[in-house]
């Protein structure tokens, strides 16, 4: 049974934890239910999902604003603020949801807060106190049917507690919808990328309609491939409508069926079947989105219609190649050479067909960066490609994210931090952005921060193995074994699905071996290692993960076998992957072994001699 959500969600920077605790205690003493993450999250909780659900369901969101929040442009409190800001746009305009409090009189304490926070009254809590008048204000705002007209604060740090205006009845909330992943009816599993791409694009299109609330991709794709009870699903996601459909792509034709269902009555509100030339795919997507808006009796504003019609490219072949490349990117592991080479080939061709396709340029940069820094190939570093992407679209969050990774590889860490800040501000819900932030935090050995973003990226992409594998490393290093068990189960399930499609996927076996070892299935993990080494002995990514399994996840550690596996790895390792190995806590049991240190030293000398180390130490 799902636990009920709390009335108030308290969001704060870690430096303000004591002040947040005092506010929480004052509100709870008045009988108000408060969610405070340090007391509410328990071992085994799906952290990101829990936070999102609480913000989605709470009656009031209280951000604690201070000099600490003004000076920090990252931290999960900013992601919580973004989620709250998004929710304000789904609510009646005169309904109070955000109740900001300010802890000090710092002139710029209110800098860089969402615009929706600036439109409402703020309260200063002097000297860390929680005045009874503030508690009373919160209590009144939680009273049934109470709403209050929003207005900008006279000063975000004024000493007086603002009065509560007279209540007025809120207007109706927006209609809401979830777009379920369209089923691939092409009779070819490899066409899955296309049906997923169509589903994602429709979600993106509908999200541009201001009068409609749309469930995020990660929540919708949790139901991929499952038979669903529409009314039950609608209750779970708290939506009024469900869109489902299928895609059949064959030759130069595409057939799409779609139906809009009332989540309460299970009645069909609209249904259509389209059988078109593949070149009409963009027009077809526009028609589906506009038909849904019409069926829901909503008004599509001219600027929204224009935004929906902007797809980054008008060329169907370039679009198809990009979808194939992105599918390669979101499946498998970072250091799979075949995967990276496929991404580069597909994106190069896409950009040749349409040189103005910014997303293809950004993804090309990811492939090039991986080949150069992770695999030691004679490849462009990706910086030119990502600069091209940003010249075409400076607001492309994933381009800023990959630029940050490339700059970090070159030792330009301050510039990388600036790019990450921009990427998070542009799209904190982006899979690519969260994965890039996690990657950089791990390299900086800031494991707790890395966990936040790896949890997010894992939740945003159901085919991602890398984030789960990295989470196992982080949680095990921090001795959070309950969380590690949860992630291991998720990752093993994903690996098994991949192996059902390709039983010889050694890269997936590498992730699976770590998951099995975490779950205590050491013998099964060793069987996978033996099998994968017979199938694909030259897969260095799998070798590395197998060595990690034997050193940190299987007890007692098998140091000799791990070093035997790592020998060929260090003989070919690239500069970026070597940096990873030097900070990876999975290899800590080997760091005092002279054989391990000799391998690392030899790799450093080889890389220096080859001239491939173009960046300074991390």
Question: pLDDT tens digits, residue range 267-284?
Answer: 888 998 988 888 888 888
With DSSP H G I counted as helix, E B as strand and the rest as coil, what are the percentages for the chain, rounded to 5? 60, 10, 35
- Specify the CATH number for the domain of residue 284: 3.40.50.10610
Q: In what order do the strands lie in the sheet with 34-35?
A: 34-35, 8-11, 60-65, 101-102, 123-124
Domain C-terminal end among 288, 311, 334: 311
Q: Is residue 234 part of a domain?
A: yes
pLDDT one-digit tens code per residue, 393-439: 998 999 999 999 999 988 898 899 999 999 988 888 888 899 899 98
Q: Clarify whether residues 136 and 181 are in a common domain.
A: no
- Measured from the Cβ of residue 131, the count of other Cβ atoms closer than 10 Å reads 15
Q: Is residue 422 part of a domain?
A: no
Is beta strand 176-179 parallel, antiparallel or unpaired with respect to 34-35? unpaired
Q: Looking at residue 411, what is its pLDDT? A: 87
Q: Looking at residue 563, what is its pLDDT? A: 94
- Specify the CATH number for the domain of residue 561: 1.25.40
Q: Is residue 603 part of a domain?
A: yes
Q: Clarify whether residues 114 and 188 are in a common domain.
A: no
Q: Is residue 465 part of a domain?
A: no
Residue 44 has pLDDT above 50, yes or no: no
Over residues 230-237, the mean pLDDT reads 88
Using alpha carbons only, what angle is made at residue 212 by residues 224 and 292, rounded to the nearest 5 degrees? 70
Q: Clarify whether residues 215 and 129 are in a common domain.
A: no
Q: Clarify whether residues 136 and 212 are in a common domain.
A: no
Q: Clarify whether residues 101 and 217 are in a common domain.
A: no
* pLDDT > 70 fraction of the chain, expressed in percent and rounded: 86
Asked if 170 and 95 touch (Cβ cutoff 8 Å), the reply is yes
Q: Clarify whether residues 13 and 123 are in a common domain.
A: yes
Q: Is residue 374 part of a domain?
A: no
Q: Looking at residue 90, what is its pLDDT? A: 62
Q: Clarify whether residues 135 and 216 are in a common domain.
A: no
Q: Clarify whether residues 137 and 193 are in a common domain.
A: no
Query: Distances in Å between the alpha carbon of 170 and those of 93, 166, 173, 296, 383?
Result: 8, 12, 9, 21, 50
pLDDT one-digit tens code per residue, 155-190: 443 333 343 333 333 334 678 999 999 998 887 776
HEC string of 431-497 equals HHHHHHHHHHHHHCCCHHHHHHHHHHHHHHCCCECHHHHHHHHHHHHCCCHHHHHHHHHHHHHHHHH
Over residues 239-246, the mean pLDDT reads 92
- Specify the CATH number for the domain of residue 17: 3.40.50.10140
Q: Is residue 74 part of a domain?
A: yes
Q: Clarify whether residues 616 and 567 are in a common domain.
A: yes
pLDDT one-digit tens code per residue, 333-362: 555 678 889 999 999 999 999 999 999 999
Cis (ω within 30 of 0) for the bond into 556?
Answer: yes
Q: Clarify whether residues 95 and 209 are in a common domain.
A: no
Torsion of CA 471, 473, 476, 478, to 10 degrees: -80
Domain C-terminal end among 96, 123, 141: 141
Provide the mean pLDDT of the chain. Answer: 82
Q: Looking at residue 331, what is its pLDDT? A: 66
Write down the pTM of the prediction.
Answer: 0.64
Q: Clarify whether residues 97 and 197 are in a common domain.
A: no
Asked if 176 and 214 touch (Cβ cutoff 8 Å), the reply is yes
Q: Is residue 456 part of a domain?
A: no
Q: Looking at residue 387, what is its pLDDT? A: 96
Over residues 211-227, the mean pLDDT reads 82
Out of 299-313, 490-504, 516-530, which region has the weakest mean confidence (pLDDT)?
Answer: 299-313
Q: Is residue 380 part of a domain?
A: no
Q: Looking at residue 153, what is its pLDDT? A: 43
Which of the pair, 140 or 590, is modelled with greater confidence?
590
CA distance 482 to 56: 26
HEC string of 213-258 equals EECCHHHHHHHCCCCCCHHHHHHHHCCCEEEEEEEEEECCEEEEEE
CA distance 288 to 205: 10
CA distance 86 to 160: 28
Give the tokens for residue 209: 């309609």
Give the tokens for residue 594: 């002279």
Tell me which residue range forms the domain holding 55. 8-141
Q: Clarify whether residues 222 and 289 are in a common domain.
A: yes
Which of the pair, 61 or 114, is modelled with greater confidence?
61
Domain C-terminal end among 311, 333, 365: 311
Number of domains in the chain: 3
Residue 93 has pLDDT above 60, yes or no: no
CA distance 438 to 432: 10
Out of 335-339, 449-453, 546-550, which region has the weakest mean confidence (pLDDT)?
Answer: 335-339
Which of the pair, 122 or 521, is modelled with greater confidence?
521
Residue 46 has pLDDT above 60, yes or no: no
Out of 166-170, 361-365, 491-495, 584-588, which region has the weakest mean confidence (pLDDT)?
Answer: 166-170
Q: Looking at residue 157, what is its pLDDT? A: 39
Spatial CA neighbour of 524 closest among 506, 535, 512, 536:
512
């Amino acid at each position: 049974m799902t636990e009920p959500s709390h009335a108030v969600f308290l969001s704060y920077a870690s430096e303000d934890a004591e002040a947040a605790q005092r506010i929480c205690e004052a509100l709870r003493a008045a009988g108000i239910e408060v969610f405070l993450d340090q007391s509410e999250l328990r071992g085994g909780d799906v952290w990101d999902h829990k936070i999102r659900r609480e913000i989605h369901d709470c009656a009031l969101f209280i951000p604690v604003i201070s000099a600490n929040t003004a000076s920090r442009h990252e931290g999960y409190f900013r992601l919580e603020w973004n989620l709250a800001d998004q929710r304000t746009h789904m609510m009646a305009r005169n309904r109070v949801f955000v109740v900001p409090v300010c802890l000090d009189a710092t002139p710029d304490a209110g800098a860089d807060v969402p615009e929706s926070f600036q439109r409402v009254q703020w309260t200063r809590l002097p000297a860390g106190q929680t005045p009874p008048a503030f508690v009373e204000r919160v209590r009144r705002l939680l009273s049934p049917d109470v709403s209050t007209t929003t207005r900008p604060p006279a000063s975000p740090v004024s000493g007086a507690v603002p009065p509560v205006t007279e209540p007025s009845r809120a207007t109706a909330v927006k209609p809401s919808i979830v777009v379920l992943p369209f089923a691939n009816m092409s009779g070819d599993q490899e066409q899955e990328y296309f049906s997923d791409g169509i589903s994602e694009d429709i979600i993106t299109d509908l999200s541009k309609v201001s009068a409609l609330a749309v469930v995020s991709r990660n929540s919708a794709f949790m139901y991929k491939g499952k038979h669903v009870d529409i009314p039950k699903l609608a209750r779970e996601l708290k939506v009024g409508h469900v869109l489902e459909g299928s895609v059949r792509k064959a030759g130069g034709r595409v057939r799409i069926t779609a139906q809009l269902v009332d989540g309460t009555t299970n009645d069909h509100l609209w249904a259509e079947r389209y059988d078109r030339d593949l070149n009409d795919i963009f027009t077809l997507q526009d028609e589906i989105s506009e038909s849904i808006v019409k069926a829901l009796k909503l008004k599509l504003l001219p600027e929204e219609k224009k935004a929906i019609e902007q797809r980054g490219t008008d060329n169907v072949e370039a679009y198809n190649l990009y979808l194939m490349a992105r599918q390669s990117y979101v499946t498998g592991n970072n250091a799979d050479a075949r995967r990276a080479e496929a991404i580069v080939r597909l994106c190069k061709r896409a950009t040749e067909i349409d040189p103005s396709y910014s997303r293809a340029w950004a993804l090309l940069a990811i492939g090039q960066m991986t080949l150069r820094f992770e695999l030691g190939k004679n490849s462009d570093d990706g910086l030119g490609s990502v600069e091209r992407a940003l010249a075409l679209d400076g607001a492309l969050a994933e381009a800023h994210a990959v630029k940050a990774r490339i700059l970090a590889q070159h030792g330009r860490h301050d510039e990388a931090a600036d790019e990450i800040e921009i990427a998070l501000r542009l799209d904190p819900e982006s899979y690519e952005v969260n994965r890039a932030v996690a990657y950089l935090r791990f390299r900086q050995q800031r494991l707790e921060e890395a966990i936040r973003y790896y949890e997010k990226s894992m939740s945003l992409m159901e085919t991602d193995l890398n984030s789960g594998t990295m989470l196992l490393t982080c949680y095990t290093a921090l001795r959070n074994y309950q969380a590690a068990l949860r992630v291991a189960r998720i990752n093993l399930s994903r690996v098994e699905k991949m192996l059902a499609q390709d039983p010889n996927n050694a890269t997936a076996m590498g992730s699976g071996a770590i998951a099995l070892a975490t779950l205590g299935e050491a013998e099964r993990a060793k069987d996978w290692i033996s099998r994968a080494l017979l199938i694909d002995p030259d897969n260095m990514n799998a070798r590395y993960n197998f060595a990690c399994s034997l050193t940190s996840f299987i007890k007692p550690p098998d140091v000799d076998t791990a070093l035997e596996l790592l020998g060929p790895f260090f003989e070919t390792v690239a500069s970026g992957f070597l940096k990873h190995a030097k900070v990876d806590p999975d290899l800590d049991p080997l760091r005092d072994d002279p054989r391990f240190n000799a391998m690392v030293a030899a790799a450093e000398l080889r890389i220096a001699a080859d001239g491939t180390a173009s960046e300074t130490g991390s």
